[in-house]
Amino acid sequence: MKLTSYGAALEVTGSQHLLEVNGKRILLDCGLFQGHRKIAFEKNQEFEYDPASIDAVLLSHAHIDHTGNTPHLVSKGFAGKIYCTEATKKLCEPLLLDSAYIQQQDTEYFNRRVKDTALEMDPIYTEEDVKLALEHFKGLPYDTQYTLYDGVKVTFFEAGHVLGSSMIQLDIVDQEDGKEKRLIFTGDLGRYKLPIIKDPHEPDHADYLLCESTYGNRNHAPIEEGVPELARVINRTVERGGKVIIPSFAFERTQELIYSIHLLFDRGEIPKNLPVFIDSPLATNLTHIFREEIELYDKDIRENFRLDHNPFDPSQLKFTASVEESKELNFLIGPCIIISSSGMCEAGRIRHHLKNNIEDSKNTVAVVGYMAENTLGRKIVDGEKRIKIYDQMYKVNAEVVILESFSAHADRDDLDRFIKGIHGLKKIMLVHGEQNQSEAFAERIKTYSEAEPIVMEPMKPVEL
């Protein structure tokens, strides 16, 4: 059997890996390339393989960089089924519809800039394509083996990364050599003790591991420090009379923030009447799904809240639905928290909030998520003093804080622990990491594992 990466090789976005086994072509994840808007738009135009040749798709979790290309795949001729956990299936509907809306906006943006109408582009996919793609989705329960094809069985286990996230285990009888082989794809591996979701499954045996390496060469601040650190940032900003602006992914990170802020209100650690705005229609929809899925959560969330007290529904929370309501936030006087997307600041309402608030030294921009290379968010993280938003330059006078504890990705110690627990590994293929992270991690693996680490390169197949 053979594995080839078509995305998320030497980079952290656009996850797509093709497994060829027993005459079948199985795609592990079908993500969109995300990041700098123009680069992303161009990169997502074409597939490097024929979508009609794919037999099945297995999705690790609902993040768009793992699922966002499925409507495009279907529109280009894919006719098979798309398997994932039931929660991922549910979450994919609002996430993919939002993605279609962004594609449409990006196309309009691109077309406004081209002089020649012959060069105008169509969106990569539309809401109609999303609806057609959703018909191909099949949700499967966790921890339950499902026979995909003769000699190919799949099981989804908890990955501990986001609601519905899974690592995908394939148990194969390879017709080429008659051998039994187990391949595990981590998807995005979460962290132990993350709030809200359960801890990652710990497999004890596999032959091959396709492993993410986002933080293969770094450790995060401990999770326990996240909420107190957030309280200090909020209180400091409130004392200055400023606003806390938080660029956040609409899915999971926003709900984690709501949960953490709710805890701080309940414990009296931040001012009681501080308004919290969720300024993202997508985050609003997803928060409603989170309010319903309590049974998928970890024990800690149930311990911290009584059943009649929904963790995702503090009384200070306000959702801004319309663009007008969002714009009204510009005129709001006095301290507040504004959580808005997109997470990497490349699009969406967050750009307005940054534009209106980043020049005022009373305010704080709190970074809680991964910022890919070349994005506006990365420039803020890198401490650039002047940034460009909507073709205009702005001075960064606001305090910029990076709250690393909020990462939902395993760090180096978590990855080590995960790999050390798996016996029998022959090859570990590293993906979903920038080159320096994946390469350093490959060297590190050699110090404690017999397995051969391979840093996957785009379109370079590996025999298994």
Residues that bind Zn ion (CB under 5 A): 63, 188
Token readout for 231 is 């309280």
Cβ distance 170 to 391 under 8 Å?
A: no
Identity of the residue, 67 or 364, whose beta carbon is nearer to Zn ion in the bound complex:
67
Identity of the residue, 63 or 182, whose beta carbon is nearer to Zn ion in the bound complex:
63
5 beta partners: 17
Identity of the residue, 62 or 403, whose beta carbon is nearer to Zn ion in the bound complex:
62
Identity of the residue, 4 or 13, whose beta carbon is nearer to Zn ion in the bound complex:
13
Dist CA 200 CA 49 (whole Å): 32
Dist CA 136 CA 166 (whole Å): 19
Identity of the residue, 193 or 232, whose beta carbon is nearer to Zn ion in the bound complex:
193
Identity of the residue, 93 or 360, whose beta carbon is nearer to Zn ion in the bound complex:
93
Cα dihedral: 214, 216, 217, 222 (round 10): 80
CB of 271 to Zn ion, least distance (A): 33
CB of 337 to Zn ion, least distance (A): 24
Closest listed residue to residue 102, CA positions, set 163, 164, 30, 32:
32
Residue-wise over 379-414: b if at least 16 C-beta within 10 A, else e? Answer: bbbeeeeebebeeeebebebbbbebbbbbbbbbbeb
Q: Using only the alpha carbons of the chain, give its radius of gyration.
A: 22
Identity of the residue, 63 or 349, whose beta carbon is nearer to Zn ion in the bound complex:
63
CB of 305 to Zn ion, least distance (A): 25
Identity of the residue, 34 or 356, whose beta carbon is nearer to Zn ion in the bound complex:
34
Dist CA 92 CA 64 (whole Å): 8
Identity of the residue, 305 or 418, whose beta carbon is nearer to Zn ion in the bound complex:
418
Q: Residue 84 to residues 4, 73, 166, 167: CA-CA distances in angstroms? A: 20, 16, 8, 10
CB of 186 to Zn ion, least distance (A): 11
CB of 65 to Zn ion, least distance (A): 7
CB of 117 to Zn ion, least distance (A): 38
Dist CA 52 CA 320 (whole Å): 41
Judge if the upstream peptide bond of residue 53 is cis by omega within 30 degrees of 0: no
- Report the 10 Å Cβ neighbour count for 315: 10
CB of 352 to Zn ion, least distance (A): 26
Q: Residue 78 to residues 123, 192, 326, 406: CA-CA distances in angstroms? A: 18, 36, 39, 37
Identity of the residue, 63 or 72, whose beta carbon is nearer to Zn ion in the bound complex:
63
Q: Is 100 exposed, middle or buried (0-12, 13-18, 19+ CB in 10 A)?
A: buried
Query: H-helix or E-strand containing 399?
Result: strand 399-402
Sheet holding 399-402, edge to edge: 317-319, 276-279, 336-340, 243-247, 364-367, 399-402
CB of 150 to Zn ion, least distance (A): 32
CB of 161 to Zn ion, least distance (A): 6
Identity of the residue, 265 or 418, whose beta carbon is nearer to Zn ion in the bound complex:
418
CB of 284 to Zn ion, least distance (A): 20
Instruction: Please measure the distance between the N-terminal and C-terminal CA atoms of the chain and give it in whole angstroms.
Output: 5
CB of 212 to Zn ion, least distance (A): 9
